[in-house]
Structure formats: structure tokens, C-alpha cells
Amino acid sequence: MLKHLHIKHFTIIDELNLDLTDGLTVLTGETGAGKSILIDALELALGARANTMLIQKDQKRCEITATIDTTHITSAQKWLRDEELDEGEECLISRVISRDGRSRNTINGRPCTLEQVRSLGALLVHIHGQNQHTLLTQSDYQRKLLDTFAGHRELCQNVRNHFQRWRQANDELSTLMGTDEDQAQKKEWLSFQIEELSELSLAEGELANLEAQYKKLSNATQFILSCEDILNTLSGEGHNLMREVDRIIQSLKQLPTEKETTEAIQLLQQTSIHMEEAQHNVNRYLSNLTTDPQALDQIERRLARIYELARKHKVLPEELHQKQTRLEKELEALTGMDERIAQLQTEITTAQTNYQAAAEKLTLSRQAAANRLNQAVTAHIKTLGMQHGELHVTLQPLEDQMPHTYGNERIAFLIVTNPGHTPHSLAKVASGGELSRISLAIQVVAAEAFHSPTLIFDEVDVGIGGKTADIVGQQLRKLGEKAQVLCVTHLPQVAANGHQHLHIAKQVNNNKVTTSITILSAEERTQEIARMLGGVNITEKTRAHAEEMLAR
């Protein structure tokens, strides 16, 4: 239940704190006083689109906060727990809109998204606005109204889920089938590239080994000459290093034995040993050197092919092995396309079968709900002065047999206003006054089915008067016994049925227009009903009439 509404710097409201009760609360006032501002503010707090034009002139921001008692609203309590926003029995929804277009939304003091506010608001408040008459002639709105009346949330979601699976599989299949020719060409090209790389059969590390062999073979003659020169220098027939080292060692041994001479001898002996080892290593290396033109030619051709394929595939030569692996994986993925197509065809068949089962179940439930809605609305229409009025909610099968997100039929609200006439659409048959009464009857019936703790009617009684207006007031009062009802009205018959009466007035001070809202006492309420009955000049007769209406 909506307990309190705080509004600051919103249109022509400076600041307002309003306490609300259960039952039927009526809001009245002169034309142009701003009776619908409360509804507009509440809608904004619950996630409606913001407009900086709503901020009072010379103010930087406007603020709206709604305090709602969720004690008996289990769906809202669960939602708050799931979103980790619960703070006890009361829920505070607040919205601040800045002049720069930004808005800040909070639930129980915690920042939240606009979508979260809208989701929670849908569980707390249902607003029947002045545009309901126009919406009522639209097929989409008629479908939503019927499904809401019937409680089809789960059935509709099930239909949408199966439709989404069917559409996604169809979209993917269309993509695969549409590119089938391109895929075939790509598979052929990949196969050719992989075959080239397979014929090359480049092993890991082979390139480095080939380059080392090429360098060795291509420079073999120079290497042989260098090795022979080294060996000759170490131990050749003429002057050589090893012999000179031995001579120096012998000369040192002729000197007195001292620490320095002894260490010098040891170092030169180690040098002699190292030189012998070096000689053996060079001899081994020289024995492996050969000038093999045929082997060199084979290596050159192998390297040339490797470099050629590397340039062709735009990779480094050492990356050719990884390139082949990637191409093979890509070809494998394309080769599996046929399998994926077959799999998708199976998925489409399954999804369509599941969709039809869910859609047929929804259709049966819609038909039963349509019959209930027909009876309930027709009964209300008759009480509103249309003795021969009848509502016919029809299910019209869609022309194609393909799945649709909302089911297999189009919902149409048809009306009969005169006996013996064929039902026709609301837009074509109903006059302004008739449409108002039909709309009100549908909204009252639907409101009873919405199970919202707070219902708001914004001048839904336009075009109604006399005895019919009194009946409307009685119906809204009866509805207020089941839920909190707020009704903006210009009819005294409706206003007299309220449990609580709010008066909206507009003042002009220093060229500034502001609105105030007052909770009327019994005496003030009599005066307001009399004003609504008699206009500017209130007589004792109109006061007596007002008292009679309130007493009744």
C-alpha cells in the first residue's frame, strides 16, 4: 500500500508531503489545478521516462520519494530479497532528476537501475491513465490485457522461450545455408594449403638444423684451411706454440726453486695440456668437414621451399608448423558444417514441436479467459447504462503457420452496442462516451484481476454522468475494499464515494504558480462536493444535495 508521497520542485509543486490511507482516495479540484500531477510524479518515481521540463524553473533538480508498505505483498518481498534490497516492511523508492538530464534511482537508499525500479513498481502499483481509451483499441494492448487478466505470465514466457530457440536455430541455419557455396570454396583452398605444408613436412627444430648445415657446407673449404692453419700453428713442423711452451717450462726449471717459478711452471703445464686438447678438438672437427656439392644443393632447395611457403602464408619460416596446425583446425571446423546443419534441423523441429504444444496450451487458456472476461465486462457495461452492450473477446488465428513470439492468434476486442448487430472493433463502433464506459468496465474488471495492492485511476470516468457516474463511484468504492484505490475525478458522484478526499488547488504568488493538496475534513468535503455539483454559486440546495450524496 502507498503510505506516503514526497514531491519536491516537480512542475508546479514546491514541496509536498502526503500521507495516504487504504480504501478509495479521490482527488478533485478545479480544471487546470494539477490533479494529475500526483499520478505523473508517482509514475516517474516508478520508472517512467524523465523530462527535465518537469523540474521547476530556477531549480537544479526535482525529487520524488514513495513509501510503500510491503507487509502483505509477498511478490515484492521476494523480489527485494532476491535483489538484496529488503529493509523490513516499508520500501522507499526514490528518484532525483537533475537539470543536466541525469537521474539517480534508489530503493531503500541503495542505488539501482531504472529497470529494477520498473520491475518492482509493476508489483506494487497499477496505473490506469487517461490514454487507456486509445490503448484499448490497439491489438497488442488487448492481448496484454487478456493475458494479465488470465494470469498468463508463465504460459506466455514458455511460448516466448520456445519461439526464441526456434528463431535462433533458424537464423544460424540460414547463415550456414546462405554461405554454403563460399564455404565449399574455402574448404578447397584450405585443403590445397594444408597439402602443400604436409608435403613440406617441416619438423620442429628442423629449420635451425638446416641453416647450420648450410653454413657449414657452403663454407667448408674456408673452414678446412682455417683448421689446417690452426693445427700448424699449434704443432707444425716449423715454429709452433706447443714446442715453445715446452721450451719455456724447461728454462723455468733451471731457475732456483721459488714460489713464483713453481707457479709459473704449473700454469704453463696446464696451458700445454689445454693446447693438446684444443689440437684434438680441431682435428675431430676437421675430420668431419667435407665439400659435398650434392648435399649442399639439396639443403639449398629445401631452405628455398621453406622460405617460399613462409612468404606465401605471411609468417616467419619457423612458424610454418603452427600455421599448418591452425589451417587443419579451420578445415576441421568447416568440415563439421554439414553435421551442424543436420543438428540445427533437428533442433528446429524439436523447438517447433515444443512451441506448438506451449502455444496450443496458451490458446486454450486464452479462450477460457476470454469467456470469463466477456461475461464480467458485459455485466459491468450494462450497469453503466449500456443495456444492450456486450464485449466479445475473440482469438483470430494468424495466417501463417510459423511460430510467433506471442502465440498462434491475434486478440481482438469486439463490441455490440445495439441488439441484433454484428460485433465490430471498438475503434469502429464505440462513440466517445461509449468507449469511456467500455474502457472503464474493462479496467475495473482487469484491476480486480491484477492483484496490485495499489490501483490508480486517472480521470477514467470522462464522458460519464448521472446515474452511471454514481454506479462508477460505487464500483470504485467496492474495489477500494479489496485494494488501495486512488482516483482523480471531476464527478461529484464518484468523489462522494471516497473513503478519503484530497483537494488540489492552484495558487499564483509573485507571478509563480504552485499547487497545494489538502486532506479534506467532513465539512470541507461537503463544500467541495457542492462546488462540483453547482459550480461557482453554491446554494443551500446544492449543499443539501452534497450532504445527501455523502450520507448515502
Q: 347-388: per-residue pLDDT in tens?
A: 999 999 999 999 999 999 999 999 999 999 998 888 877 888
Return the H-helix or E-strand segment holding 98: strand 90-98
More confident residue, 429 or 298: 298
Among 49-63, 75-89, 156-170, the range with the most confident prediction by mean pLDDT is 156-170
User: How many CB atoms sit inside 10 A of residue 199's CB?
Assistant: 9
Q: pLDDT tier at 179 (50, 70, 90 boundaries)?
A: low
**Mean pLDDT for the chain overall:** 84
Return the H-helix or E-strand segment holding 4: strand 2-10
Whole-number pLDDT of residue 352: 94
Answer yes or no: is pLDDT of 119 > 80: yes
Q: Which has the minimum average pLDDT: 39-43, 399-403, 464-468?
A: 464-468
Answer yes or no: is pLDDT of 13 > 60: yes
More confident residue, 499 or 38: 499
User: Three-state SS string across 301-312, please?
Assistant: HHHHHHHHHHHH
Instruction: Average the pLDDT over 18-25 and give the result.
Output: 91
DSSP 8-class letter at 317: G
DSSP 8-class letter at 55: B
More confident residue, 35 or 519: 519
Q: Could you tell me the CA-to-CA distances from 396 to 142, 146, 321, 323 in Å, in that order? A: 13, 14, 64, 59
What the block records as the C-alpha cell of 325 is 596446425
Whole-number pLDDT of residue 401: 82
Q: pLDDT tier at 112 (50, 70, 90 boundaries)?
A: very high
What the block records as the C-alpha cell of 362 is 496458451
Answer yes or no: is pLDDT of 181 > 60: no
Instruction: Enumerate the β-bridge partners of residue 519.
Output: 502
Instruction: Average the pLDDT over 398-420 and give the result.
Output: 89
Q: pLDDT tier at 132 (50, 70, 90 boundaries)?
A: low
Among 24-28, 220-224, 323-327, the range with the most confident prediction by mean pLDDT is 24-28
What's the rounded Cα separation, in Å, for the pair 315 and 305?
Answer: 14
Q: Domains of the chain, with CATH numbers? A: 1-125+485-518 (3.40.50.300), 182-335 (no CATH), 521-552 (no CATH)
Answer yes or no: is pLDDT of 160 > 90: yes
Q: pLDDT tier at 169 (50, 70, 90 boundaries)?
A: very high
Return the H-helix or E-strand segment holding 207: helix 206-218
Whole-number pLDDT of residue 128: 76
**Cβ-proximal residues to 359 (8 Å cutoff; 6+ apart), any chain:** 159, 162, 403, 407, 408
Whole-number pLDDT of residue 131: 60
Residue 473's Cβ-side half-sphere holds a number of Cα atoms within 13 Å equal to 24
| Residue 386, amino acid | M
Whole-number pLDDT of residue 364: 96
What the block records as the C-alpha cell of 242 is 706447443
Instruction: Please give the distance of CA 16 from its chain centroid, rounded to a whole number.
Output: 36
Q: In 3D, which of 421, 311, 407 has the Cα closest to residue 362?
A: 407
What the block records as the C-alpha cell of 238 is 716449423
Q: pLDDT tier at 202 (50, 70, 90 boundaries)?
A: confident
Q: pLDDT tier at 137 (50, 70, 90 boundaries)?
A: confident
Answer yes or no: is pLDDT of 253 > 80: yes
Q: Which has the minimum average pLDDT: 206-215, 219-228, 376-385?
A: 219-228
What's the rounded Cα separation, in Å, for the pair 431 and 437?
Answer: 10
Strands 13-19 and 103-107, how do they pair?
Answer: unpaired
Give the percent of the chain with pLDDT over 90.
Answer: 26
| Residue 329, amino acid | K
Q: Could you tell me the CA-to-CA distances from 270 to 241, 259, 265, 274, 490 in Å, in that order? A: 14, 17, 9, 6, 120
Rounded to 10°, the helix 139-150/432-450 angle is: 30
Q: Is the dihedral of CA 514, 517, 523, 529 positive or negative?
A: positive
User: Three-state SS string across 410-477, please?
Assistant: EEEEEEECCCCCCCEEHHHHCCHHHHHHHHHHHHHHHHHHHCCCEEEEECCCCCCCHHHHHHHHHHHH
Strands 2-10 and 61-69, how do they pair?
Answer: antiparallel
Q: Which has the minimum average pLDDT: 170-179, 347-356, 410-419?
A: 170-179
Phi first, then psi, for residue 535 (nearest 5°) are: 80, -140
What's the rounded Cα separation, in Å, for the pair 211 and 202?
Answer: 13
Rg value, the chain, Cα: 46
Instruction: Enumerate the β-bridge partners of residue 10.
Output: 13, 55
Instruction: Average the pLDDT over 280-296 and give the result.
Output: 77
Q: pLDDT tier at 111 (50, 70, 90 boundaries)?
A: very high
Whole-number pLDDT of residue 429: 67
- What is the separation, in whole angstroms, between the first and last Cα of the chain? 27
What's the rounded Cα separation, in Å, for the pair 489 and 274?
Answer: 115
